[in-house]
């Protein structure tokens, strides 16, 4: 079956404006990304890779302007052409970014920006920085996760574990969908999908979801959030509960990635570059996006850490059914991990194709130079 296209870009042109001049940075970029696909975007410094990535996110800097083209994300046009008449009755063409991108950004499509690791806050734990976006944009999800454990039907949990025992996973999946709310389901799935736990451990953890108990004060503040948030002592209890749930969620994500959850309470300076990249990936997937753009995730890592990072990306891609755009200037990194490679030169895609055919049979001079530059090293 033909895979669905999640992202289609046609003829994208972006300029940077200053008071005195205008630089054409993207000169008509065509690009596409299908469901569950990894596309590598490769080009030398200054070829426009980051500008392209930021345009997809609707995050171009103020002095940048889209002057032509279309960006379609999951069926919606992100660029709106507006034609209006000015006071001299001349037709004017304006290009606007669809405000709908706000709803998709961070949820449907998300990005780990270049040098993002250096923007991690040194005074906040990495765990906090993984769930921070949920705390600010979807606090309700954390509350509902706590609530879902309070209300979960323990008999149903037991039945589900029995179905897992019988190894009839189709029936188990059906049971999971039919008997639990979205929030407890998320927690159960985060346990069952882990590959570092034995089946026995998984079952115990699932059953433990039904035993998590709140104190009566905690239950009160959760069910009377409005009141509680106006009374200092209770507000503290409410905030503490929500924070703990954030750490719980961040720990689940790390578990899925096969990483040690003890790093949750560490600070960025205590982690290696590779681990910091992993933390950034965790913070990108915490909201269940479908597309992740990684802008030069590996450029500051040594070869072994690079390799580990890309393996980790392949793993989470499979677990979360993600599509990835991997931006790199080193084409060799992409050969093992990308399904397709797009080569960008001076603001235009000069070649795109299946990874093996780009690496082995390219007739494009620029692509050949990129490949040669790696082999020569
Ligand atoms: N904020 C800006 N204002 C003016 N020009 C900019 C701005 N950002 C980027 N440019 C210019 O746009 C061009 C493309 O830059 P971009 O950062 O997209 O390249 P890149 O391929 O990501 O490079 P690198 O490999 O160094 O990350 C460059 O010539 C750069 O000077
Ligand atoms: Mg860049």
pLDDT in tens, 185-200: 999 999 999 988 999 9
Residue 75 reports pLDDT greater than 90: yes
Query: What per-residue confidence (pLDDT) applies to 90?
Result: 78
| Index of the ligand 1 atom closest to the CA of residue 43 | 21
For ligand 1, is residue 15 a contact (CB within 6 Å)? no
Query: What per-residue confidence (pLDDT) applies to 61?
Result: 94
Give, for ligand 1, the residue of 49, 114, 295, 299 to mutate: max count of ligand atoms closer than 8 Å to Cβ: 49
Please, which pLDDT band fits residue 375 given cuts at 50, 70 and 90? low
User: Which whole number is the average pLDDT over 94-105?
Assistant: 86
Q: For residue 134, which phi and psi values (nearest 5 degrees)?
A: -70, -40
What angle do helix axes 126-137 and 273-285 make, rounded to 10 degrees?
A: 20
Residue 232 reports pLDDT greater than 50: yes
For ligand 1, is residue 114 a contact (CB within 6 Å)? yes
Residue 377 reports pLDDT greater than 50: no
User: What is the tens place of the pLDDT at every residue in 53-73?
Assistant: 999 999 999 999 999 999 999
Nearest Cα residue to atom 25 of ligand 1: 45
User: What is the tens place of the pLDDT at every residue in 157-185?
Assistant: 999 999 999 888 899 999 999 999 999 99
Ramachandran sector of residue 253 (left: φ over 0; alpha: ψ -120 to 50; beta: rest): alpha
Surrounding ion ligand 2 within 5 Å at CB are: 49-50, 114
Please, which pLDDT band fits residue 1 given cuts at 50, 70 and 90? low
Token readout for 174 is 């059906």
Give, for ligand 1, the residue of 15, 50, 57, 299 to mutate: max count of ligand atoms closer than 8 Å to Cβ: 50
259, 290 contact by CB (below 8 A): no
Q: CA nearest 69: which of 16, 23, 28?
A: 28
| Index of the ligand 1 atom closest to the CA of residue 347 | 14
Query: What per-residue confidence (pLDDT) applies to 50?
Result: 96
Give, for ligand 1, the residue of 14, 46, 61 to mutate: max count of ligand atoms closer than 8 Å to Cβ: 46
Q: Which residue has the tokens 């950004």?
A: 105
For the chain, give the percent of residues with pLDDT over 90: 74
Q: CA nearest 79: which of 94, 92, 91, 90?
A: 94
Q: What is the C-alpha separation between 200 and 272, in angstroms, rounded?
A: 32
Kindly report each contact of residues 56-60 with a partner whose C-beta sits within 8 Å and lies 24 or more positions away, as own/partner: 56/7, 56/9, 56/109, 56/111, 56/293, 56/325, 57/101, 57/105, 57/109, 57/110, 57/111, 57/293, 58/97, 58/98, 58/101, 58/102, 58/105, 59/105, 59/111, 60/14
Residue 213 reports pLDDT greater than 90: no
Residue 356 reports pLDDT greater than 90: yes
| CA 295–ligand 2 middle distance (angstroms) | 7
Q: CA nearest 57: which of 285, 292, 288, 283?
A: 292
For ligand 1, is residue 347 a contact (CB within 6 Å)? no
Token readout for 256 is 């899925």
Strands, E assignment, the chain: 5-17, 22-34, 38-42, 64-73, 76-77, 79-85, 91-97, 109-112, 291-295, 323-328, 340-345, 348-354
Nearest Cα residue to atom 30 of ligand 1: 46
| Index of the ligand 1 atom closest to the CA of residue 44 | 25
DSSP codes, 65-110: EEEEEEEEETTEE-EEEEEEE-TTS-EEEEEEE-TTHHHHBTTTEE
Cβ neighbors of 238 (< 8 A, separation 6 or more) are: 221, 222, 225, 228, 229
Query: What per-residue confidence (pLDDT) applies to 184?
Result: 97
Query: What per-residue confidence (pLDDT) applies to 43?
Result: 94
DSSP codes, 186-222: HHHHHHHT-SSS-HHHHHHHHHHHTT----HHHHHHH
User: What is the tens place of the pLDDT at every residue in 22-36?
Assistant: 999 999 999 999 999
């Amino acid at each position: 079956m033909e895979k669905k296209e999640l992202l289609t870009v046609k003829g994208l042109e972006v300029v940077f404006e200053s008071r005195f001049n205008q630089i054409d940075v993207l000169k008509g970029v065509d690009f596409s990304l299908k469901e569950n696909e990894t596309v590598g975007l490769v080009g030398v410094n200054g070829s426009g890779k980051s500008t392209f990535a930021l345009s997809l996110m609707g995050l171009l800097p103020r002095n940048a302007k889209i002057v032509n083209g279309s960006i379609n994300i999951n069926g919606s046009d992100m660029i709106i052409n507006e034609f209006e008449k000015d006071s001299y009755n001349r037709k004017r063409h304006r290009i606007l970014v669809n405000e709908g991108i706000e709803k998709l950004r961070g949820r449907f499509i998300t990005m780990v920006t270049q040098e993002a690791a250096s923007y991690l806050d040194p005074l906040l734990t990495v765990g906090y920085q993984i769930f921070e976006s949920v705390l600010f944009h979807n606090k309700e999800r954390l509350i509902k996760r706590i609530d879902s454990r309070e209300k979960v039907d323990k008999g149903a949990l037991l039945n589900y574990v029995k179905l897992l025992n019988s190894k009839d996973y189709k029936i188990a999946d059906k049971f999971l969908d039919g008997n639990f709310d979205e929030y407890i389901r998320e927690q159960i799935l985060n346990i069952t999908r882990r590959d570092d736990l034995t089946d026995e451990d998984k079952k115990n953890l699932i059953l433990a979801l039904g035993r998590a108990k709140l104190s009566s004060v905690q239950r009160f503040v959760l069910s009377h959030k409005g009141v509680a948030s106006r009374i200092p002592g209770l507000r503290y209890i409410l905030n503490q509960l929500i924070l703990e749930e954030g750490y719980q969620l961040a720990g689940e994500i790390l578990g899925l990635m096969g990483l040690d959850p003890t790093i949750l309470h560490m600070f960025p300076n205590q982690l290696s570059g590779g681990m910091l990249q992993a933390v950034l990936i965790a913070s990108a997937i915490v909201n269940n996006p479908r597309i992740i753009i990684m802008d030069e995730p590996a450029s500051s890592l040594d070869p072994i850490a690079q390799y580990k990072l890309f393996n980790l990306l392949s793993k989470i891609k499979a677990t979360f059914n993600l599509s990835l755009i991997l931006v790199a200037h080193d084409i060799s990194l992409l050969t093992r991990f990308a399904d397709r490679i797009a080569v960008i030169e001076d603001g235009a895609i000069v070649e795109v194709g299946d990874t093996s055919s780009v690496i082995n049979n390219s007739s494009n001079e620029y692509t050949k130079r990129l490949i040669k530059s790696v082999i020569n090293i």
